[in-house]
């Protein structure tokens, strides 16, 4: 089955599950703050959670750390400093590791940013979504466009030079010109990284129950392609379906996910994927989702929401779902390094996708074509073992 001689790089994800209010499109594990956030208690629970997870990663070093949410910027800088020092005391962090914190522009000021920087955060990811007040109101954001601009400038003054801005397109009644205007405004601020996400309507959201009027598919495609050209011309290279970066500024943490690296996940609803050379297994674990249940489970196995071992077929499909999002694709040896499996196990799948013009294999760089990117779901069908169109079952 698996044959690990070395394990893939390891990251650490920490989830903070609270927000000022719940955005109508958001399906993340985030809960509106009712009274106060139990910050101290939650940090205790995170540390206990990490301690219980450590045996699965003895001897390994964390190469990147990401504090996501929810809205981690609701935590105090003191709390984040304590969290980071408790983490460092328990697991080695690679020198110079990327340490990201997600921030909502409606929840931060200059002092707050300075405190995060002093705590050791070296990358900020800001949920801007749009700089246009009308569009922000239509998607229920708690901030206006100028607050987002001010937040970026304050973060810079506080010493952050590695900043990502999250933008969304395909917003209610949005035009292509409006989507491009947002990108222009973002580029003027010169962040190191821009994420340009298409708004998706997720079950369990207010937008699912009351769908807004969204641009049609052709307009969405136009926004995406024109957006990509604008960003390229401004020096931002796309490296994943929604991620653009200045040279050398790709998000190392997310790259590790997409390259099928390993990660620990602590906090309510956090996911982990760990390869183990001693047991020759790859396991996926998630923690219980609700913050209350997670807090109540501090220090006990009740914090585990799910735990399962991946089969070879699971791994092949999950590797595809991640690495096919990357513009750089993968190579025969990177497939083996990430999965421990010989390339032969996916050779026929790749061949079939190439026949359908969904992928190319150019000198051992195996990647998705433009057609494959547009029809990513169709492409993934070729990787599903049980479907009849899968080449090996023909």
Ligand X SMILES: C[S@@+](CC[C@H](N)C(=O)[O-])C[C@H]1O[C@@H](n2cnc3c(N)ncnc32)[C@H](O)[C@@H]1O
Residues at the site binding ligand X, with contacts judged by CB under 6 A: 25-26, 28, 68-69, 71, 102, 104, 127, 129, 166, 168, 197, 199-200, 202
Q: How far is the CB of 111 from ligand X (least distance, A)?
A: 19
CB of 307 to ligand X, least distance (A): 24
**Binding partner of residue 197 among ligand SF4, ligand X, none, CB under 5 to 8 Å per kind?**
ligand X
Tokens (6 digits) for 241: 């379906």
Residues 6+ apart with CB under 8 A from 374: 221
Per partner kind, with CB cut-offs from 5 to 8 A, the member of ligand SF4, ligand X, none near residue 200 is ligand X
Complex with ligand SF4: residue 70 or 305, whichever CB lies closer: 70
Nearest to 318 by CA among 370, 392, 258, 250: 258
Q: Both tokens of residue 26?
A: 């958001």
Q: Nearest distance from residue 284's CB to ligand SF4, in Å?
A: 22
Q: DSSP of 335-394, one letter per residue? A: HHHHH---THHHHHHHHHHHHTTSEEEETTEEEE-HHHHHTHHHHHHTT-TTSTTSGGG-
Closer residue to ligand SF4 in complex, CB, 266/326: 266
Among residues 310, 305, 192, the alpha carbon closest in space to that of 260 is found at 310
Q: How far is the CB of 21 from ligand SF4 (least distance, A)?
A: 7
Nearer to ligand X, 125 or 275 (CB): 125
Work out what residue 185 binds among ligand X, ligand SF4, none; the CB cut-off runs from 5 to 8 Å by kind: none
Which partner from the list ligand SF4, ligand X, none does 268 bind, CB cut-off 5 to 8 Å by kind?
none
Least distance in angstroms from the C-beta of 226 to ligand SF4: 25
Least Cβ distance, residue 107 to ligand X (angstroms)? 8
Judged by beta carbon distances under 5 to 8 A according to partner kind, the member of ligand X, ligand SF4, none in contact with residue 132 is: none
- Give the angle subtended at the CA of 66 by the CAs of 234 and 249, to the nearest 5°: 25
Minimum distance from residue 1 beta carbon to ligand SF4 (Å): 38
What is the C-alpha to C-alpha distance for residues 207 and 24, in angstroms, rounded to an integer?
A: 5
Angle between helices 176-188 and 217-233 (to 10 degrees): 20
Q: Which residue is nearest to ligand X (CB)?
A: 127
Residue 334: strand, helix, or coil:
helix
Of residues 141 and 382, the one with the C-beta less far from ligand SF4: 141
Q: Give the residue with the Cβ less far from ligand SF4, 19 or 341.
A: 19
How far is residue 394's CA from residue 373's CA, in Å, rounded to a whole number?
25
- Which residues contribute to the site for ligand SF4 (CB under 6 A)? 19, 22-23, 26, 28, 30, 69-71, 104, 127
* Closer to ligand X by Cβ: residue 127 or 329: 127
- H-state helical runs in the chain: 39-53, 77-90, 110-119, 133-138, 145-157, 176-188, 206-209, 217-233, 252-258, 291-296, 312-323, 332-339, 344-355, 370-374, 376-381
- Partner whose binding site includes residue 22, from ligand SF4, ligand X, none (CB under 5 to 8 Å by kind): ligand SF4
Q: Which is nearer to ligand SF4, 140 or 385 (CB)?
A: 140
């Amino acid at each position: 089955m698996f044959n690990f001689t070395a394990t893939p790089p390891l990251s650490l994800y920490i989830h903070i599950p609270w927000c000022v209010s719940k955005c109508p499109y958001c399906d993340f594990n985030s809960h509106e703050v009712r009274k106060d956030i139990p910050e101290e208690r939650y940090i205790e629970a995170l540390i206990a959670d990490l301690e219980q997870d450590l045996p699965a990663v003895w001897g390994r070093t964390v190469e990147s750390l990401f504090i996501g949410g929810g809205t981690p910027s609701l935590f105090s800088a003191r709390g984040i400093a304590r969290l980071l020092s408790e983490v460092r005391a328990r697991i080695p962090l690679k020198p110079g590791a990327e340490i990201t914190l997600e921030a909502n522009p409606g929840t931060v000021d200059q002092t707050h940013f300075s405190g995060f920087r002093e705590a050791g955060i070296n990358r900020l990811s800001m949920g801007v979504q749009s700089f246009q007040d009308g569009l922000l109101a239509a998607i229920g954001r708690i901030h206006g466009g100028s607050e987002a601009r001010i937040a970026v400038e304050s973060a810079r003054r506080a010493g952050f030079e590695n900043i990502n801005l999250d933008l969304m397109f395909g917003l209610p009644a949005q035009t292509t010109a409006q989507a491009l205007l947002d990108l222009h405004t973002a580029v003027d601020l010169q962040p190191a990284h821009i994420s340009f996400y298409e708004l998706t309507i997720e079950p369990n959201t207010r937008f699912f129950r009351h769908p807004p009027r969204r641009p049609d598919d052709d307009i969405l495609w136009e926004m995406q392609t024109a957006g990509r050209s604008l960003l390229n011309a401004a020096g931002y290279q796309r490296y994943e379906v929604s991620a653009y970066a200045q040279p050398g500024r790709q998000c190392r943490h997310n790259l590790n996910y997409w390259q099928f690296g390993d990660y620990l996940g602590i906090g309510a609803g956090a996911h982990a994927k760990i390869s183990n050379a001693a047991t020759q297994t790859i396991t996926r674990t998630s923690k219980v989702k609700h913050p209350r249940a997670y807090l109540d489970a501090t220090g006990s196995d009740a914090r585990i929401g799910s735990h399962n071992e991946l089969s070879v077929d699971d791994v092949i499909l999950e590797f595809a779902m991640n690495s096919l999002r990357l513009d750089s694709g993968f190579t025969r040896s990177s497939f083996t390094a990430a999965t421990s499996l010989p390339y032969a196990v996916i050779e026929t799948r790749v061949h079939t996708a190439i026949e359908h013009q969904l992928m190319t294999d150019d000198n051992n760089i195996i990647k998705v074509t433009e057609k494959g990117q547009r029809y990513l779901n169709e492409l993934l069908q070729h990787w599903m073992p049980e479907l009849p169109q899968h080449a090996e079952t023909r």
